């Protein structure tokens, strides 16, 4: 396993070519092409702004105003994460003609899927940055310096999940249908459309209800909160210790995911 993992660096050129092919294929035949990578997040943010300003005027905590911008800070990285998992679940099946070739490293396919969605995440960041400036949200260099670390932790965690899902779905096709429902549940179990401090007792802040403790078991909770603390909330990034812990766990989980993938590698050509 470690030998195969070490050889991934040798395939960096192939990974780059496949990522470029994936991005081109996504918008093949489209008039606007890659501009959709900017237009889609822009339209998404405009829709949220319209809905929560004119349609649903429910009162929100003043600490998360403007609400649409707060929500977008979490939904943008969540889209990268959920899309990567959903696409990785079937990537070996759709790429069966490639993995049947003796010298082709099958793990490249889920890696390419994750990296392609990461690039879409990066292309959506200028839209988010523009609205952060428009709403005069304070951005501090010391906090922005942590941003690459959050992205790296999410990348490693997403790769671990994608490798496991890609390998298991080859043998259990039902995983794709289960995953779509699981991701919906996962989304609402993550503080993206609501703030993490929602479950704190306003009369006794030191007493946190069980929902808050349950949120800590959700790995994406710590990513979402850190993104929000860097991009939206004022003050220091208080969730940094949780991010570092998640980073260490993500490395172990990635190695476990690669181990699972490597153990099942020889069965892929027969099943697809």
Instruction: Name the residue range of residue 9's domain.
Output: 2-271
Q: What is the pTM of this model?
A: 0.86
* Mean pLDDT taken over the chain: 82
pLDDT digits (tens, 9 = 90+) for 123-159: 888 888 888 888 888 788 888 889 999 999 999 999 9
pLDDT digits (tens, 9 = 90+) for 238-247: 788 899 999 9
Q: Hey, is 134 helix, strand or coil?
A: helix
Contact indicator for 123, 40 with CB cutoff of 8 Å = no
Distance CA 158, CA 112 (A): 12
Q: In the prediction, which pLDDT does 14 show?
A: 81
pLDDT digits (tens, 9 = 90+) for 66-76: 888 888 888 89
Q: Which two tokens stand for residue 156?
A: 């490693």
Strand segments (E) across the chain: none
Q: What is the mean pLDDT of residues 187-202?
A: 79
pLDDT digits (tens, 9 = 90+) for 108-132: 899 999 999 999 899 888 888 888 8
Q: Residue 101 pLDDT more than 90?
A: no
In total, how many domains does the chain have?
A: 1
């Amino acid at each position: 396993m470690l030998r195969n993992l070490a050889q991934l660096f040798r395939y960096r050129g192939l990974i780059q070519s496949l990522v470029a092919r994936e991005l081109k294929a996504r918008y093949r035949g489209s008039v606007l092409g890659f501009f959709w990578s900017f237009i889609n997040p822009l339209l998404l943010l405009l829709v949220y702004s319209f809905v929560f300003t004119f349609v649903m005027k429910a009162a929100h905590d003043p600490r998360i105003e403007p609400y649409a911008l707060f929500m977008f800070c979490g939904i943008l990285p969540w889209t990268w994460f959920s899309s990567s998992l959903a696409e990785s679940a079937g990537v070996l099946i759709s790429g069966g003609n490639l993995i049947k070739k003796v010298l082709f490293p099958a793990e490249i396919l889920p890696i390419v899927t994750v990296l392609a969605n990461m690039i879409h995440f990066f292309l959506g960041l200028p839209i988010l940055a523009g609205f952060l400036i428009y709403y005069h949200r304070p951005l501090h260099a010391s906090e922005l310096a942590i941003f690459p670390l959050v992205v790296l932790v999410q990348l490693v965690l997403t790769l671990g999940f994608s490798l496991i899902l890609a390998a298991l779905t080859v043998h259990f096709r039902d995983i794709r249908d289960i995953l779509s429902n699981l991701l919906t549940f996962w989304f609402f179990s993550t503080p993206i459309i609501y703030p993490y401090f929602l479950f704190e007792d306003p009369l006794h802040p030191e007493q946190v209800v069980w929902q808050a403790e349950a949120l800590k078991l959700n790995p994406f909770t710590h990513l979402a909160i850190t993104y929000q603390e860097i991009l939206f909330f004022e003050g220091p990034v208080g969730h940094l210790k949780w991010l570092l812990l998640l980073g260490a766990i993500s490395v172990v989980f990635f190695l476990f995911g690669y181990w699972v993938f490597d153990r099942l590698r020889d069965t892929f050509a027969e099943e697809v």
